[in-house]
Amino acid sequence: MASISHLNQFPRKTLPVIQSRTQITSKPGIFAPNTVKVTQKPIDRPWICTGGFIQGKQNFRVRAAIDDEGGPDKKEGSTVAVVEKEEKLKPAEPTEIDRLKKVLVDSFSGTDRGLKATSETRAEIVELITQLEAKNPTPAPTEALTLLNGKWILAYTSFAGLFPLLAGGTLPFLKVEEISQTIDSETRTVQNCVQFSGPLATTSISTNSKFDVRSPKLVQIKLEEGIIGTPKLTDSIEIPENVEVLGQKIDLTPFKGVINSVQETASSVAGTISSQSPVKFPIPNTNAESWLLTTYLDEEVRVSRGDDGSVFVLIKEGSSLLPP
């Protein structure tokens, strides 16, 4: 037997009895009177289908089913209620800031972090940065230091002091793979790092600094030391089985013993060098201080400006805005 009652300001009403092998008793409802109907599906489990909500609210389907599956942790006659929303949630539309960031990062393509940017591209980038700064969701970055935490990858800069490094003039035969800045707000430390790769080795040069908050947007950076990372040499040399010279193939198999000897020597040298500690050196006091103004900050993009007005755009490690 089944009965449904409403406990509200309206008179109590009892719906007609419906024959079923299962008994269902509903809890006090919140629906308007006369908007509930009981139907019987051609299966053993009865269904309760509600009508529309009053005042144009969204519709829901409420299914009450008797859990008749046995099990040691299930009680006989327990009721499982499942509420299914008819309309699926639509994915969030990109915001104006999201679109601006995407266009800005796309404009960096082919500029080699700003080194190869044309004057027209630079003007376009400046305009996009200005628009992004106007929508800064973090007006006081130094009061939200947790957002600054982590590793930031340099995507673009107008700082001419970095261009000789990017062009390979500082360290010949080495290519700049990554320029990053790692910030720890708890220890108030900043590490700037440049990673290089060459034909036979990879290495890095970094600086360790302390920073002090001077205003809601400004920090003072004091350089403490520089570090030259231990080079990591290639421990194997790939030699083909044959080479082609003037249209003729030359078999290198007879030189296999010599090749193996060279590989063993390279591996031994690589192991010896890699076991050495990084080289640390002090920074002269004349170059030990600088200022950094953060003009835009969110979870994945940061825009900062240096002493001379140069701009730096950095992207948080792990962000989908970074190229694969």
Contact 185, 149 (CB under 8 A): yes
Mean predicted lDDT score pLDDT of the chain = 74
Residue predicted with more confidence, 48 or 318: 318
- What is the model's pTM? 0.62
Q: Residue 22: is its pLDDT beyond 60? A: no
What is the rounded average pLDDT of the residues 254-258? 63
What is the rounded average pLDDT of the residues 144-154? 94
262 pLDDT tier (thresholds 50, 70, 90): low
pLDDT at res. 267: 59
pLDDT at res. 247: 61
248 pLDDT tier (thresholds 50, 70, 90): low
Q: List all residues 6 or more positions away from 314 whose beta carbon is below 8 Å from its beta carbon.
A: 152, 153, 154, 155, 181, 301, 302, 303, 304
Going from the C-alpha of 53 to that of each of 26, 29, 49, 201, 324, the distances in angstroms are: 18, 12, 12, 70, 49
Q: For residue 3, how far is the Cα from the chain centroid?
A: 54
Please state the φ and ψ torsions of residue 37, each to the nearest 5 degrees.
Answer: -130, 150
Q: Residue 210: is its pLDDT beyond 90? A: yes
Residue predicted with more confidence, 167 or 103: 103
Tokens (6 digits) for 48: 């309760």
DSSP bridge partners of 226: 207, 281
> How, if at all, do strands 201-213 and 189-197 pair?
antiparallel
Q: Choose the weakest-confidence range: 143-152, 156-165, 222-231, 258-267.
A: 258-267
Residue predicted with more confidence, 172 or 5: 172
Q: Residue 96: is its pLDDT beyond 80? A: yes
The residue extents of the domains of the chain are: 1-90, 96-230+277-316
| Dihedral of the alpha carbons of 97, 101, 102, 104, in degrees to the nearest 10 | 130
Other Cβ atoms closer than 10 A to 162: 20
Calculate helix-pair angle for 119-134, 96-107, nearest 10 degrees.
160
- Give the residue among 118, 137, 176 at the shortest CA–CA distance from 302: 137
User: DSSP assignment, residue 25?
Assistant: B
pLDDT at res. 67: 46
pLDDT at res. 237: 53
Going from the C-alpha of 30 to that of each of 7, 8, 27, 238, the distances in angstroms are: 9, 8, 10, 76
DSSP track, 76-104: TT-EEEEEEESSPPPPPPPPHHHHHHHHH
pLDDT at res. 264: 62
Q: Is it true that domain 96-230+277-316 has CATH number 3.30.450.70?
A: no
Tokens (6 digits) for 101: 């960031």
Other Cβ atoms closer than 10 A to 141: 24
Going from the C-alpha of 74 to that of each of 27, 37, 68, 81, the distances in angstroms are: 21, 29, 9, 15
